[in-house]
Structure 1
Amino acid sequence: MASKVIHAIYSDDDLLLQAVKQVREARYHIGEVYTPFPVHGLDKAMGLAPTRLAITSFLYGVVGLVVATVMMNYIMIEDWPMDIGGKPSFSYIQNMPAFVPIMFELTVFFAAHLMVITFYLRSKLWPFKKAENPDVRTTDDHFLMEVEVGNHNTRDLTEFLYQTGALEIKLIDNK
């Protein structure tokens, strides 16, 4: 992380989105953006790589489907076959239409619960973790863009950020 960063605070999400595009065009490096709600298109404007969470969710759903299939085959066919309503349990394939709701529910259950766990692990959100939010107003109604100063002139960068519509700018030394 850079030793000096500038925190530019904005009051509107559209203004922030435009400012992010201008800062990237001017070849400044944006460290992080803090917003009170998700801003549509901000990830693309910042140049972030696409997420692989959808692939992970699909794989978790497949795990749930496999667990449901193996569980029902073992319980209802191999371990304790029952004659329910005159329909004997000779094979899994013959009884599969009755198992579809269970397969669906376990697929959704595994995908949802494992995605929540993955999100918390990936975001490093542990119980009782102290918030890393640099300004409490970003949880309410303001937006903060953290720009790394690097070897740029601080005054020129500050003036540039004011021109993009920043309400307030703070120079932070991370030593």
Structure 2
Amino acid sequence: MSSKVIHALYDDDDVLLNAVKEVRAANHHIEEVYTPFPVHGLDKAMGVAPTRLAIMAFLYGITGLGFAIWFLNYIMIVDWPQNIGGKPSGSFLENVPAFIPVMFEMTVFFAAHLMVITFYMRSKIWPFRKAENPDPRTTDDKFLMEIEVDGNEDEMTSLLESTGAIEIKVKEKH
């Protein structure tokens, strides 16, 4: 494992996308790409695996639905049954039409909040964490590709120059 990385700066997203494809075709590993906005097709070009966040959202939604069913049954049928607007209070099944909006909202609430927490944990975005952006220009209008150097610094530099990089720097890995 190398302690150096190459930072190649680009000023166009199409040039960056083609550069990523060329670097991957040359069997080099791209550590990260920093962009000021999402670039369509970049994840596929980098070989990033598809996200499993949708599966977790489904599981969190099922959890929320289960919690809502249990909670409504407990508070409205078991603990304190009430005759509200002439609705029956003898069993859960008799009250399902009245409970559907609450069950739906709890499903959405659990899915949304637990997905955000999962995303932050998976991305290691903690409160008060220092930003790890290697070049502040990537928040404005530039694109940066970070590639690990494995003793092939000159080869990588010439490859990146041929892909249209406007600036190439070799830095110590942080």
**What TM-score does the superposition give when structure 2 sets the normalisation length?**
0.95
Counterpart in 2 of 1:173?
A: 172
Distance (Å, rounded) in 1 between the aligned partners of 2:171 and 2:117: 33
Q: CA deviation at 1:151?
A: 3.0
The answer to whether residue 169 in structure 2 is matched with residue 160 in structure 1 is no
Counterpart in 1 of 2:67?
A: 67
The 3-state SS of whatever aligns with 2:170 is strand
Counterpart in 2 of 1:8?
A: 8
Deviations 1:78-133 (A, max 9, x none): 11111122222111111101111101111111111111111111111111111111
What's the Cα RMSD here? Answer: 1.3
Distance (Å, rounded) in 2 between the aligned partners of 1:146 and 1:3: 13
Distance (Å, rounded) in 2 between the aligned partners of 1:112 and 1:47: 27
Unaligned runs of 5+ in 1: none
Distance (Å, rounded) in 1 between the aligned partners of 2:88 and 2:26: 72
Deviations 1:38-89 (A, max 9, x none): 2221111111111111111111111110111000001111111111222221
Distance (Å, rounded) in 2 between the aligned partners of 1:4 and 1:57: 38
Matched letter for residue 15 of structure 1: V
Distance (Å, rounded) in 2 between the aligned partners of 1:156 and 1:85: 78
Q: CA deviation at 1:160?
A: 1.2
Residues 34-43 or 109-118, more deviating: 34-43
The answer to whether the 8 A contact 2:88-2:94 is kept is: no
Matched letter for residue 157 of structure 1: M
Unaligned runs of 5+ in 2: none
The 3-state SS of whatever aligns with 2:134 is coil
The 3-state SS of whatever aligns with 1:84 is coil
Matched letter for residue 159 of structure 1: S
Q: CA deviation at 1:173?
A: 2.6
Identity of aligned residues (%): 68
Count residues with an aligned counterpart. 174
Counterpart in 1 of 2:37?
A: 37
Counterpart in 2 of 1:128?
A: 128
**What TM-score does the superposition give when structure 1 sets the normalisation length?**
0.94
Matched letter for residue 112 of structure 1: A
